[in-house]
Amino acid sequence: MTDRDPGAPASPPRPWRNLYGRRQGKPLRPAQRERMETGLEAVRLRGVSWEENPQRIPLSGLPDRLWVEIGFGGGEHLHAQARAHPEVLLIGAEPFVNGVAQMLGHLAAEPLPNVRLHPGDARDLLEVLPEASVERAFLLYPDPWPKARHHKRRFVTPGPLGQLARAMRPGGELRIATDIDDYVRQTLEEVPRAGFALIRGPAAEAWPDWPGTRYERKALREGRQPHYLTFRRA
């Protein structure tokens, strides 16, 4: 990553606080850097960033079946869903550079034409998706923000959930997975208020098509119980 050119125009101010922590962890390996420099452009969804779309004009030309993963981590779940559902366009949003690089590694090993990535805040994506366009959304092991003073940074708060509710079609499915008991509590309080009905969970068993992720394995390894919840957009 390079510093911004001091002569370049500044991005418009963000009307929200971050829902995520670091943008990058360990330095990328040479192959990962190359994928970020050359492979990302082939799958990056355009018109999402503030620089490309400062007036937040809605995206157009999206297919009828659209699924969105909010924070795809290392990309295992996103890639597996895209492989299993070639008829669906899957858009993944992830601000963590290392996660994007890992997802590009999956696509380099097994290219899938129905994947698009937004390497940034999912709220930018939700803001420009057409109303009632998303058939299914995934929020899987999101940043828990465990301290009480940071709970307002969780995705399951009115602002982000309102964006998601606007973008999802009636009857659309929202899947949430977390290993944090208090995140379950807040999810059960806030998600129904945003216009979603709980139809399954909190369950200890994941969905039948769940491929497993590194975050699930870490939770189990550290003795935390995963919880899986399914909601339906009213």
pLDDT (tens digit per residue) in 168-179: 999 999 999 999
pTM above 0.75, yes or no: yes
In this predicted structure, what is the pLDDT of residue 12?
A: 47
pLDDT (tens digit per residue) in 76-89: 999 999 999 999 99
Query: Which is the catalytic residue, given 3, 124, 143, 209?
Result: 143
181 is in an annotated binding site: no
121 is in an annotated binding site: yes
- 176 pairs with which residues across the strands? 139, 229
In this predicted structure, what is the pLDDT of residue 3?
A: 32
Yes or no: say if 172 and 134 are a contact pair by the CB < 8 Å rule. Answer: yes
- Confidence band of 229 (pLDDT split at 50, 70, 90): very high
CA distance 12 to 10: 6
Q: In the annotation, is 143 catalytic?
A: yes
Amino acid at 168: M
94 is in an annotated binding site: yes
Q: Are strands 66-70 and 134-140 parallel, antiparallel or unpaired?
A: parallel
- Confidence band of 11 (pLDDT split at 50, 70, 90): very low
CATH superfamily of 30-233: Vaccinia Virus protein VP39 (3.40.50.150)
pLDDT (tens digit per residue) in 100-110: 999 999 999 99
- Confidence band of 51 (pLDDT split at 50, 70, 90): confident
221 is in an annotated binding site: no
Mean pLDDT over the full length of the chain = 87
CA distance 36 to 218: 26
More confident residue, 146 or 80: 80
143 is in an annotated binding site: yes
- Confidence band of 67 (pLDDT split at 50, 70, 90): very high
147 is in an annotated binding site: yes
In this predicted structure, what is the pLDDT of residue 20?
A: 52
* Cα 174 off chain centre by: 12
Residue 155 DSSP symbol? S
